[in-house]
């Protein structure tokens, strides 16, 4: 689903993306533009968007709901980075836990997305039915790392 634009943000320049990759605060303020670049069909914007997301740190609180919608999208890289950023969040993510849980349960999700999603669910304080279901699904997985992450969630209670 390359080319999908989640935010209607215009494609930033490489210079801007490079600046954001080297400045966490700038990157946090340009999250939607970075995701627009991530879904670019051009290689360089996509690579620099990835670099900016790797270096960004926790996402802004105001973007958590939006990241929840991206987490349940079918665009694999966008979903991967959305659940990764939610897993870094310093703010509560309970409000978007069902979207994260769906990323674990969705058969179209890559193993990498599932692992990042289950890690993010470890931050949920009050689990929904979908989250419980996602944890149980992870425990039955063939992916030993996913199983380990799910066990850690249960042990942390």
Partner 1 sequence: MRNTASLPAIVAVVTSLAAYAGCEPENGLQSRIDSAGYNQPAINQSLPYPTGYNQPGQQPNYQPGYTSEYASGYTSGYAQQQVGASQRYGQPAFGQQAFGQQAPGQPQQYPQQTLGQQPFGQQYGPPALGQSIPPNGVASNPSAPQGRFTSSTQPSSQAPSQALSQAPSQLSVQPSVTNATNELMPQRRAETILVGSFNIQTFGQSKMGDQWVMGRLAEVIRMFDVVGIQEIRSTDQTILDVLMTYVNSSGGRYQYVMGPRLGRTVSKEQYAYIYDSNRISTGPNATYTLNDDIDALHREPLVGRFVVRSNLTNRPWTFSLVNLHTDPDVAVQEVTSMGGIMREIRNWEFASAQEDDCILLGDFNAAPPKMGALQTVGGVYPLISNQPTNVRETEIYDNILIEPNLTSEYTRRAGVLSLAKLFKLSMKDALKLSDHNPVWAEFSVEENGPQNYNPNPNQQSAARPGFSQR
Backbone Cα Rg of the chain: 15
User: Encoding tokens for residue 46?
Assistant: 């996509």
* Size of site (CB under 8 A) for partner 1: 37
Does 91 bind partner 1 (CB under 8 A)? Our answer is no
- Using CB under 8 A, which of 16, 63, 77, 98 touches partner 1? 77
- Please, what is the minimum distance in Å from the beta carbon of residue 23 to partner 1? 9
Examine residue 88 and tell whether it contacts partner 1 (CB under 8 A).
yes
Residue 46 in contact with partner 1, rule: CB under 8 A: yes
The smaller minimum CB distance to partner 1, of residues 2 and 65, is found at: 2
Among 35, 80, 123, 138, binds partner 1 (CB under 8 A): 80
Sign of the CA dihedral with 65 first, then 119, 19, and 23 last: positive
Does 149 bind partner 1 (CB under 8 A)? Our answer is: yes
DSSP string, 26-79: HHHHTHHHHHHHHT-SSHHHHHHHHHHHHH--SPPGGGHHHHHHHHTSS-HHHH
21 binds partner 1 (CB under 8 A): yes
Is 50 near partner 1 (CB under 8 A)? Answer: yes
Q: Which of 11, 112, 130, 139 binds partner 1 (CB under 8 A)?
A: 112
Cα separation, 141 vs 139, whole angstroms: 6
Among 44, 69, 90, 154, binds partner 1 (CB under 8 A): 44
Residue 55, interface with partner 1 (CB under 8 A)? yes
Is 22 near partner 1 (CB under 8 A)?
yes
Q: Does 136 bind partner 1 (CB under 8 A)?
A: no
Residue 100 to residue 69: CA distance in whole angstroms: 9
Closest CA to 20 of 7, 11, 29: 29
Q: How many CB atoms lie within 10 A of CB 55?
A: 13
């Amino acid at each position: 689903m390359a080319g999908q634009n989640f935010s209607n943000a215009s494609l930033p320049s490489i210079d801007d993306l490079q600046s954001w990759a080297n400045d966490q605060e700038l990157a946090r303020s340009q999250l939607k533009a970075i995701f627009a670049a991530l879904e670019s069909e051009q290689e360089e914007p996509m690579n620099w968007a990835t670099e900016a997301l790797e270096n960004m740190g926790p996402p802004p609180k105001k973007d958590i709901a939006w990241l929840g919608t991206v987490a349940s999208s079918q665009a694999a890289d966008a979903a991967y980075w959305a659940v990764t950023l939610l897993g870094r969040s310093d703010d509560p993510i309970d409000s978007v836990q069902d979207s994260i849980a769906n990323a674990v349960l969705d058969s179209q999700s890559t193993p990498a997305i599932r692992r990042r999603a289950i890690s993010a669910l470890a931050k949920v304080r009050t689990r929904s039915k979908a989250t419980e279901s996602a944890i149980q699904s992870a425990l039955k997985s063939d992916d030993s790392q996913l199983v380990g992450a799910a066990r850690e969630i249960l042990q942390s209670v």
